[in-house]
């Protein structure tokens, strides 16, 4: 018996009847020999961590564009916080922690430079439209490695449905939608307070009364509430009071931080960078790197240009914009 088979047997013994067992995965798009040591979901987690797209998350905006401080979140640290919250919930509910972690680590691989600002621009200028969750699937299916990462159906389903109206087919995937919100609401509050955009006293009093008066307390209380309301019921949920308070706190953040605040003072500049890069490269595709220009025999130009720009980090997008549009000094 291989180590993988031993782990699969342990899952059958220990995990909840509602858990997604590794041995019962719907499989991969392209069949391959199983690993002797790792389950399919463990293997997916490793593939995501070792991907280039995952490494680029460290230089992609979460909320603050190009923050100078060392302690503001980036898209990578957001991803790690989502993973930690999700794993805690999965472990407490005896669900498949490896599947949960793989989805969490991969859920934002398709995010653009400058966060949701870049996403909004690409959705407007690209004829195909753009949603970061759908692009995350394109990243793992097409853009990473020569033939994609070939992830399992369950991981891909969880990544696709971590946001929006869709619902993941597994409870492990459903955890991520909650973990994502818990993470970004609370760490964005933390960063906004650090950046003096808001203060702790500005937060809606009723939400604070229900959820807690500081980020660590709120995160703990929200996790505990999900665990208490999801045990042995075949669903991931909060009670109505907590859910309403969480969504009200989220609405507060949109009104006072995400839209029109000093944290977003350079948002229009960032949007213009993405827009002008798209238009220019669309009209001058010779600026595409070889790894993207070689895709033009399979995909149309708009799709490839969108792929290229969506994969940029904030600083690479700025540097590319400068190279194209800003005159360089002439040394002679």
How buried is residue 301: exposed, middle or buried, by Cβ count under 10 Å (0-12/13-18/19+)?
middle
Residue 175 pLDDT: 98
Q: What are phi and psi of 7, to 5 degrees?
A: -65, -40
pLDDT reported for residue 138: 98
| pLDDT computed for residue 1 by the predictor | 92
Reading phi first (left if > 0) and then psi (alpha if -120 to 50, else beta), residue 185 is in: alpha
d(CA 210, CA 244): 10
What the block records as the tokens of 114 is 């400058």
What is the set of domains in the chain, with CATH numbers? Answer: 41-264 (1.10.3210.10), 267-325 (no CATH)
Residue given tokens 């809606």 in the structure block:
204
The CA–CA distances, whole Å, from 325 to 154, 155, 174, 276, 329 equal 43, 40, 44, 9, 13
Residue 332 confidence (pLDDT): 65
Is 46 exposed, middle or buried (CB count within 10 Å of its CB: 0-12, 13-18, 19+)? Answer: middle
Q: How would you write the pLDDT of the chain (332 residues) with one tens digit per residue?
A: 999 999 999 999 999 999 999 999 999 999 999 999 999 999 999 999 999 999 999 999 988 877 677 899 999 999 999 999 999 999 999 999 999 999 999 999 999 999 999 999 999 999 999 999 999 999 999 999 888 999 999 999 999 999 999 999 999 999 999 999 999 999 999 999 999 999 999 999 999 999 999 999 999 999 999 999 999 889 999 999 999 999 999 999 999 999 878 877 889 999 999 999 999 999 999 999 999 999 999 999 999 999 999 999 999 999 999 999 998 876 66
> Residue with structure tokens 């463990």?
42
C-alpha–C-alpha distance, residues 195 and 180, integer Å: 22
Minimal CA–CA distance to 57: which of 75, 82, 77, 80? 75
Q: Determine the pLDDT at residue 64.
A: 80
């Amino acid at each position: 018996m291989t180590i993988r088979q031993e782990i699969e047997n342990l899952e059958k013994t220990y995990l909840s009847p509602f858990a997604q067992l590794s041995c019962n995965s719907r499989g991969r798009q392209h069949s391959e020999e199983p690993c002797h040591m790792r389950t399919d979901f463990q293997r997916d987690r490793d593939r995501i961590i070792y991907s280039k797209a995952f490494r680029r998350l460290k230089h992609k905006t979460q909320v603050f564009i190009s923050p100078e401080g060392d302690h503001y979140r980036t898209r990578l640290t957001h991803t790690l916080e989502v993973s930690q919250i999700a794993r805690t919930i999965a472990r407490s509910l005896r669900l498949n922690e490896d599947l949960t972690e793989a989805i969490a680590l991969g859920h934002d691989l398709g995010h653009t430079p400058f966060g949701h600002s870049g996403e909004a621009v690409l959705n407007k200028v690209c004829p195909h439209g753009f949603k970061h969750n759908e692009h995350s699937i394109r990243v793992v299916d097409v853009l990473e490695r020569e033939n994609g990462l070939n992830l399992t159906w369950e991981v891909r389903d969880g990544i696709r449905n971590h946001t929006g109206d869709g619902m993941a087919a597994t409870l492990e995937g459903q955890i991520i939608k909650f973990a994502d919100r818990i993470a970004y609401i609370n760490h964005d509050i933390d960063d906004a307070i650090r950046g003096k955009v808001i203060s702790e006293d500005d937060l809606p009093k009723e939400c604070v009364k229900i959820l807690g008066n500081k980020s660590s307390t709120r995160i703990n209380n929200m996790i505990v509430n999900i665990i208490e309301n999801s045990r042995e019921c075949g669903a991931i949920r909060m009670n109505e009071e907590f859910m309403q308070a969480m969504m009200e706190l989220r609405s507060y953040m949109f009104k006072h931080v995400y839209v029109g605040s000093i944290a977003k003072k350079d948002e229009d500049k960032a949007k213009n960078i993405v827009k002008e890069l798209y238009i220019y490269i669309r009209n001058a595709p010779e600026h595409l790197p070889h790894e993207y220009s070689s895709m033009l025999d399979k995909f149309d130009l708009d799709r490839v240009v969108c792929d290229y720009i969506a994969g940029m980090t904030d600083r690479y997008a700025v540097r590319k914009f400068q190279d194209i549009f800003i005159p360089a000094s002439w040394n002679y």
